[in-house]
Chains A and B, each alone.
Chain A
């Protein structure tokens, strides 16, 4: 299988290892911040032309971070959400998000969150004409680590597949 690793976010090199939590004055220093908290691995997939098929979009949350699931437990939290551009020859149907896992900050164990961490897969049902297709989209998410939260980000995503 042809694996085309389209890592949309490039990890920033970690700083030189100085332990400065005392200088920061936090419970623990926030985890060194990568440029993207979620990575996308685009795997070229093949579906049957003209028939409803399901594509898998594989993501990975960078170690040490988590993002809200598609259905966070508070309306104030920002859900992880895929937005896809219309593509000629492709009828995108439903997006299916995985269930999140329960998470709570150590400093607030009573508050339960619903998050993705590590690998997670979003499924996209399509009906496509024969040929190679590229569906462009973005994954919007909001990440936190154990002590801090980061502004919402949008990760560009290209779903490449062949229908035959």
Chain B
């Protein structure tokens, strides 16, 4: 009699255990289905970026601005030097050209200008031309000349006309300085930097511009 009761108890425990296992399995399956459903709702397709397209969504971000001109033909310009001589980008057709925008109030600009001067001499034999475009013409020629002298710059310093800033920096002009554009022998911008670069990086970009013979792509002038 006692044995029958015990068997009944064991049977009952087994039934409850199996029921618990089944419920746990069903609950687990339900949770997984709900999780899958939530994952589907939040599904995002990641599309690889195309070359030459800014990765940042904000078109005014430094990242976006630093890649807007890359791969495009450098916009032409004709500007005057501090002593009134006209200089055009097209004067240097066939040369690699570094177009550097700077201002008298820009500390980082004045740090890299002596480096540019050094590279100007170092890579002159490879045809390198450096043009310094003063973004703050309202500071006056004297102030601009003073900075050029203080930084030891002998390459041409050109006075911007308001149009060239828009051609290179967009409708708002240059949002920040320094901005540099490394143009190859074909007139294509092969590298663009926003803010101060290290001396090594600048030299690498210069070498790239010297070595590059890439064909222009559409989008520039």
Contact = CB atoms under 8 A, between A and B. Distances in A.
Interface size class on chain B is 35 or more
Interface size class on chain A is 20 to 34
B220 to A, nearest CB: 19
Interface string B108-134: 110100000000000000000000000
A159 to B, nearest CB: 27
Interface stretch (B22-30, B37-45, B75-83, B173-181): B173-181
Nearest to B64: A15
B130 to A, nearest CB: 16
Interface stretch (A27-35, A42-50, A82-90, A93-101): A27-35
Given A18-B56, A29-B63, A30-B62, A144 B108 contact: yes
Nearest to B112: A107
A31 B58 CA distance: 13
A61 to B, nearest CB: 16
Interface string A64-88: 0000000000001110000000000
Interface of B is mostly: loop
A76 B62 contact: no
A32 B57 CA distance: 12
Nearest to A111: B107
B147 interface: yes
Contact of A24 (B109, B143, B193): B193
Contact of B62 (A33, A144, A149): A33
A25 B66 contact: yes
Interface of A is mostly: loop
Interface of A: 12-13, 15-16, 18, 20, 23-33, 76-78, 105, 107-108, 111, 113, 142, 144-145, 147-152
A88 B136 CA distance: 36
A150 B60 CA distance: 13
Q: Which 10 A-B pairs have the closest CB atoms?
A: A148-B195, A147-B195, A149-B106, A20-B63, A30-B195, A24-B66, A26-B195, A15-B61, A15-B58, A148-B176
A18 to B, nearest CB: 5
Contact of A142 (B105, B108, B111): B105
B143 A107 contact: no
Tell which of B63, B66, B143 has the most Cβ of chain A within 10 Å. B63
